[in-house]
Structure 1
Amino acid sequence: MSTNKIKVLCVDDSALIRSVMTEIINSQPDMTVVGTAADPLVARDLIKVTHPDVLTLDVEMPRMDGLEFLEKLMRLRPMPVVMVSSLTERGSEIALRALELGAIDFVTKPRLGVRDGLLNYTELIAGKIRTAASARIIAARQPSAKAADVPQESLLRSPLLSTEKLIIIGASTGGTEAIREVLQPLPPDSPAVLIAQHMPGGFTKSFAQRLDSLCRIHVKEAEHGERVLPGYAYIAPGGFHLSLGRSGANYVAHLDQEPPVNRHRPSIDVLFDSAAKYAGKNAIGMLLTGMGKDGAEGLLRMRKAGAHTLAQDEASCVVFGMPREAIAIGAADEVAPLGEMCRRVLTHLRTFGERTNRV
């Protein structure tokens, strides 16, 4: 038997969920459950004994709330954590808070009693555990106030800059906090931002609301056919591809449920390809942290269409997969740490605006 299996500790107050999780994980050749716990206090003792590589953690439990436990864990013994959340509005808000505190990812609980669907959950959960096991643990960065460490004067001295330029962002694992860090410093008159973040349906609305409360631009879920306006960020709803379109002189958002691309819907490549087609040199493409290769080819097509493109550097990524693929094929004009991404974009926009004003 291999000694290199990923060791997983499952924490959930439901005996049935613990059983299902154990069955899912132990069915994989490269991972094993080293223990289960009904609450965080039992988990705390088991961590010291079993030394797990990954922890799966329920969000609502007796004796100690999952978020309280996660916060203590990331401060005292940082380790990869995958949250197991119920698909409810409160559950989605808690899951997003968990990502803010340092959890790598989250999954919705398998539907109990529907054993025929277990295989689908097996692939999803096992994939997230593998990603978590290889992820970089990054200290939680608390959201700052809306006033950010960038110049407060108006960014846009030319109306052309606000109406024609677009910022296009793709992200996956680790992306919720990375996107926040990029959006928060943007001034209210920023060009419109379109975002494809790999996230299931039911969570993107809470994600958009949370960002809207923290940012100086407005953040919302994209709606099919709506005009894309400066000062707004539009997030692809979970389960829908988001693409850019044109209606006369205006940019518009397009949503569809065509088959997944690169196993994802929303797919970053779908969004990037539409930006290459309809925005060309007026777009700025940004590929952030995430597993796999979604967005790499699309970022290259954006660059070939004249867009300015950026990829997040390895040191600041939770998972370097997607940016690595983009860099390898020459898709990125710039490779930058997450903390510099927004500043690089603003610098590029200001340079473009100055050239426009001189014409």
Structure 2
Amino acid sequence: MDLLPYDVVEHILERLDVKTLLKFKFVSKQWKSTIQCRAFQERQLMHRRQSGNPDVLLVSVCDESYLIGTELEAMRTLVVGSSVSVRILTPWEKTLYKVCQSSCDGLICLYNDYPKNIVVNPTTRWHRTFPRSTYQRLTSHGESWAKLGFGKDKINGTYKPVWLYNSAELGGLNDDDDNNNTSTICEVFDFTSKAWRYVVPASPYPILPYQDPVYVDGSLHWLTAGETTNVLSFDLHTETFQVMSKAPFLHHHDHSNRELVIKKWPNQVIWSLDSDHKTWKEIYSIDLNITSFWFGKHRFALTPLAVVDKDKLLFCEPNSGDQLVTHDPKTKSYELAYISFYRTTAYPLCYFQSLLSIL
């Protein structure tokens, strides 16, 4: 390696996995400086996304370990297609956290009503805590239906946890008149100032309860409540809201199940959003008669997780998340990818291994 120009060495290092790079930090001071450089870490993540499938993280959300006398495990990770999962040791093993549905640059955001919130890189074990929001403090002793969103400002490269909740359903909890006059209240956490702040004006459209905000291409997305359901988008750079109407799949929703049912039995259709042109494309159709055989349940929407092997859909049963299935649209076939043998109910989400952290 000493015979190679150092820029060539960097190009080689960018293509290595995180576990190897963490070991290579001790080769020399120059290598350590390179591997800890933010620009290098971003390039390494880009190569990781282009060359491989995401890993699956299983975050414990319901503790049943006491039933069999085993220790609670906060996190496990597995490679898609592998039957083996590996435990990730964390400082909060005895505390159960809720998890944001979307990962971002290999970072996962965890939250709860009582302890502090956490952003964690499950690959490097780096983590950073941040305080509860006003919404969390006010709902800590009652039912909290809103769910935390987590994403990245693509322009500034900053990460932002976001709460969006209907003020009317909480009885106008905030004392600020400007916030009480809107249908929603929006709180954003700033890692630089280490404080939550309100976004004014928030969205004038109330949102459906119990839904997970979805992060796509620099924006978080919710579904609006009311006679017509639309997609509500929050740009994390400008911190402004926009409504995307006439989405082709928003013809029916089931409030009793607290989720959007994007299907016409026996098919569940998966749509892809072109965020630049605000257009939708149907990319998958799942035969729920077949998947009911895997899960032993009927008439519920599955949770899509990621596209693997370039064109296969990875999804799971939405309640316990203990089974993962892949669907090949070319062969119209289904394959069981993973079954959990652990008694702790875990929420699965996909992420790409990275070296990144929040400064």
Task: Tell me whether the two structures share a fold, i.e. TM-score over 0.5.
Answer: no
- Richer in strand (by share): 2
TM-score of the two chains, using structure 1 as the length reference: 0.23
- Richer in helix (by share): 1
Of structures 1 and 2, the one scoring higher in RCO (CA 8 A, sep 6+) is: 2
TM-score of the two chains, using structure 2 as the length reference: 0.23
